[in-house]
Amino acid sequence: MGASEPEVGVQDQPLGTPALAPMGVGTWSWGNRLLWDYRPERDDPLLLRTFQECIKAGLTFFDTADSYGTGNLQGRSEILLGQGLARLPARQRQRVTVATKLAPYPWRLGRHGFCKAAAASCQRLGRPIDLVQLHWSTARYAPWQEKPLLQGLMDQVQTGGAKAVGLSNMGPRGLRRAAGWMADAGVPLRSVQAQFSLLSQQPLQPGGVLEVCRELGVTVVAYSPLALGLLTGRYTVSHVPSGLRGLLFGRLLPRLEPLLALMGEIGADHGSTPAGVAVNWCRAHGAIPIPGLRHPHHVNDMEQALGWMLSCHERQALDRASRELATLMPQNPFQSA
């Protein structure tokens, strides 16, 4: 896709469905102690300021999940988003699109398995859900559950608890199957979330999620487009984050130096950063990136990135530079075929 082609997410949508912006904000880290060392007393004020800065910058599409927040903090991401929304004037609040994912835990059984979960998410957010998503498929361990749970999400649209339904972590076979069920029920599939970045390009393979979604007219939402921060240009072999991410970064960063150098050059040509290049690479391939933002100064990079697109030549150069790195990132264990 060249810079002159239309952006994903701004095309006409069926009446009543939420319009998804060219870029969103991921909130996986909001409440996550394991990977992101979340501490409420330190981080909550920063996260709420980050939310406010996002709104000022025109980043009004937020993605969350009822499972975000480790241990007894589960649901913390939705709570923080709800607090941020409550502080907005009514007119601004109406312009915000919130997508949340409901986890198909084993105790959430059958068509009504998500009823309490959806109601709890709405309570934490303080509003109905714009886009309710199946967090992952049960096809690998409880295939009989997949269709009833999806029917339950479609029921949320029928009863007004949500405006549209999406999927997450579902491969091309499951995607076709689920889209067929939804079409038969008269509730079109709105979006599919996939792990997608310069270091995680499985959706881009022939017959992959991107190709199937183009065929079906479904929007692809790219999560982890910055590869947990590896593609931001902020880290070096001698400067890595603490904890589990630091172990991963120390192993991978030496292999990324040529790619990061190219990203820096391209970014400089546009007055941008490697992070801006990374998200625009996703956009150039037809996906809506939802980078995780945890600090107000992260917002400026993403606001600036919205003002330009990669040229066809730049995208191809990045494709070539990342070819041997395209499956470098560990894949989500919940991904299904």
Catalytic residue among 38, 68, 223, 235: 68
**122 in Cβ contact with 90 (< 8 Å):** no
DSSP SS3 for 315: helix
Q: Report the candidate in 225, 220, 159 with the shortest Cα–Cα distance to residue 198.
A: 225
Question: In 46-75, which positions are buried (b, 16+ CB within 10 angstroms) versus exposed (e)?
Answer: ebbebbbbbbebebbbbbbbbbbbeeebeb
DSSP SS3 for 102: strand
**64 in Cβ contact with 29 (< 8 Å):** no
> Please, what sign has the CA dihedral across residues 302, 305, 306, 312?
negative
In this structure, the number of other CB atoms found within 10 A of the CB of residue 238 comes to 7
Q: Quick check: is 68 catalytic?
A: yes
Alpha-carbon 18 to chain mean position: 16
Largest CA distance in the chain: 55
Strands 97-102 and 61-65, bridge-based pairing: parallel
> How many Å apart are CA 54 and CA 125, to the nearest integer?
17
DSSP SS3 for 220: strand
Catalytically active residues are 68
